Amino acid sequence: DTEVTQTPKHLVMGMTNKKSLKCEQHMGHRAMYWYKQKAKKPPELMFVYSYEKLSINESVPSRFSPECPNSSLLNLHLHALQPEDSALYLCASSQENGNTIYFGEGSWLTVV
């Protein structure tokens, strides 16, 4: 079982909704990540937090807004999404940025 916990596992939202994805890890890792994955594609990096500071934003649209309240928690706030944003959103963590990454089970997002 993964030690990175993501909620919810499934989310259906309309294009005008505001929702959040949540992630928690208790491995003492100092880097946390959000990835987006479409079917039959590799994970696509969205954001990296290192020591609770945003260190990488891979040119992600502003309708995705990350937040790192503390070293164990990572949120992804969603607003005014498009149907093409439907995907599996993966949270991950590592001891340091670039080390072996431990993924959560993912949150399946469907935008209608």
Give rounded-to-5 percent helix, strand, coil for the chain: 5, 55, 40
Site for other proteins in 53-82 (CB under 8 A): 56
Residue 2 vs 82, nearer CB to other proteins = 2
Q: How many CA atoms lie within 13 A of 35 on its CB side?
A: 18
In whole angstroms, the minimum distance from the beta carbon of 16 to other proteins comes to 27
Q: Which of 2, 31, 11 is nearest to 89 (CA)?
A: 11
Residue 16 vs 42, nearer CB to other proteins = 42
Residues contributing to the site for other proteins (CB under 8 A): 2, 4, 40-43, 45, 48, 56, 88, 90, 92, 97-98, 100-106, 108
